């Protein structure tokens, strides 16, 4: 039967081959037979999956923001909330997933709304801890746009707590990071917390 489906992926062939070799070894060490039918292409599939899940190492989040930086005198809060994120815990290389809520108050410049989500994606697609991820997003926006303040809150569930270890399936972790007026003005911070918790749609 002729195959009409062709999936386009952009990975380094050398990196995929090297990763595949190691995953074949891992399968053997685990007691599997990488030569059996169901596992023949598994090392390559896993290699490509890992390349995709860590592609953030090849992105420059600051440049993402600067690519759509516009002068604008708007000085009220800009919020992009419920940004889905998927990352890998650097301690166990198991997924953690959830949502990021990001706000900033412009100081002469704004950026494209989709760029905020792309910054979250660029940092999330690396081996991470949630605490560092939260701070990296905050600092990147602060450095690129120099706004009056940045606020980031991430809510996530960690498979390293759900699948192994304490195995608490309903646990969730919330982290936050603030700069500028979100730190110095409680009222502004409270407005942000209220807005990300409300259902405006």
Known catalytic residues are 89-92, 130, 158, 160
- Cα separation, 118 vs 64, in Å, equals 7
Residue 49 phi, psi (nearest 5): -65, -45
Taking each helix axis from N to C end, the angle separating 42-53 and 13-29, rounded to the nearest 10 degrees, works out to: 120
- Cα separation, 88 vs 130, in Å, equals 10
- Cα separation, 163 vs 136, in Å, equals 27
3-state SS, residue 11: coil
Burial 42-59 (b: 16+ CB within 10 A, else e): bbeebbbebbebbebeeb
């Amino acid at each position: 039967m002729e195959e009409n489906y062709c999936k386009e992926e952009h990975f380094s062939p050398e990196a995929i081959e090297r990763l595949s070799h190691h995953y074949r070894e891992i399968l053997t060490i685990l007691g599997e037979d990488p030569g059996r039918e169901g596992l023949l292409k598994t090392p390559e599939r896993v290699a490509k999956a890992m390349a995709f899940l860590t592609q953030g190492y090849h992105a420059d989040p600051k440049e993402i923001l600067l690519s759509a930086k516009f002068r604008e005198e708007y000085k009220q809060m800009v919020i992009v909330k419920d940004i889905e994120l998927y990352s890998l815990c650097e301690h166990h290389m198991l997924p953690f997933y959830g949502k990021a809520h990001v706000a900033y108050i412009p100081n002469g410049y704004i950026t494209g709304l989709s760029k905020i989500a792309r910054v979250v994606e660029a940092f999330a697609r690396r081996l991470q801890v949630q605490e560092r991820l939260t701070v990296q997003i905050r600092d990147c926006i602060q450095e690129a746009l120099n706004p009056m303040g940045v606020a980031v809150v991430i809510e996530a569930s960690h498979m390293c707590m759900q699948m192994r270890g304490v195995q608490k399936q309903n646990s969730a972790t919330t982290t936050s990071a603030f700069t500028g007026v979100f730190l110095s003005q409680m009222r502004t911070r409270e407005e942000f917390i209220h807005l990300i918790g409300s259902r405006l749609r």
